[in-house]
Structure 1
């Protein structure tokens, strides 16, 4: 074994240590809190604010709302899988297998997109915070599991993304 591979075997992965310890709780709480906050906003204040937007801004708002929801569902799925591994409900290998269904690459429109400047401040804040959290989770995922974020094959995929997420969550918490 060469010097480099011995060194890499002895390197402590800080992200892995964080995810598989009690220090994971604040990250988990932040992610799940953001999911709840976004859901409350989109179902309440956001719905009212969206009605006041121009046609272009309303279209952008609708698209960004879907991206925000998707991004947060993916983050929540990743966090739930890590929590299941942390609590011993799933092995790391099971998590690695299941997390292959999680995509941590949901993009957002750029701030120079038509209508962006009209979007409600609270909504833009949620989008930015979700992007920062996604970036953090993605870096942790890459450090822990390596090889970048695993994506579902695009070719031949006909499934429903929402159904995929529900299936992933059901499997993550299945008792057997």
Structure 2
């Protein structure tokens, strides 16, 4: 069994197996290229231009830079691991059982608490751009993972309130 129904054991219940078709689609390959490209771009930045930019930062800002670069690296490693497992199953390089085992090890984490907008504004623009891109990609992959595994995400009691709180948090109005 080399398809991705392993992420949704009850896939034989008559539903269209989303995972099986998605990971073999061009949309998945675009997502894969985007994710791996972001990993590459981030590594290049952190080893080059980012190193020079971080050395020029004030002490308190350099701590925020170090924290955010570690969070970014962790987030990207989770994303890359998830993408590689999905591609391996789609290409028949990994069995469904192996993928199930890896799926239990490789989880796309909840988004981490971000620095306040005042702290973030002091970080180099390129790092902020990479962080923002990685967060958007992480959320897309979390949504896909939930769809593929059949997990249902509970809706907030008041979706408008959730959006307002999200905006306030991003603007640094909630602490």
Does TM, normalized by the shorter one, top 0.5?
Answer: yes
Q: Determine if the alignment matches structure 1 residue 41 to structure 2 residue 36.
A: no
1:126 paired residue among 130, 142, 149: 130
Q: Deviations over 1:100-145 (max 9, x none)?
A: 1113116344352652211011100000100111111111111111
For these two proteins, the number of residue pairs brought into alignment is: 142
Which of 64, 69, 72 is the aligned partner of 1:68?
72
CA distance 1:15–1:127, shift in 2 (3 Å): farther
Q: Deviations over 1:47-88 (max 9, x none)?
A: 111112122211011011111111101110000000100000
Structure 2 unaligned blocks of 5 or more: 1-11, 154-175
**Is 1:91 equivalent to 2:76 in the alignment?**
no
Provide the aligned C-alpha RMSD in A.
2.2
Structure 1 runs not aligned, ≥5 long: 1-7, 150-176
With the length of structure 2 as denominator, give the TM-score of the two structures. Answer: 0.73
Partner of 2:116: 112
Please report the TM-score for the alignment, with normalisation by the length of structure 1. Answer: 0.72
Moved over 6 A (4+): none
Distance (Å, rounded) in 2 between the aligned partners of 1:83 and 1:48? 35
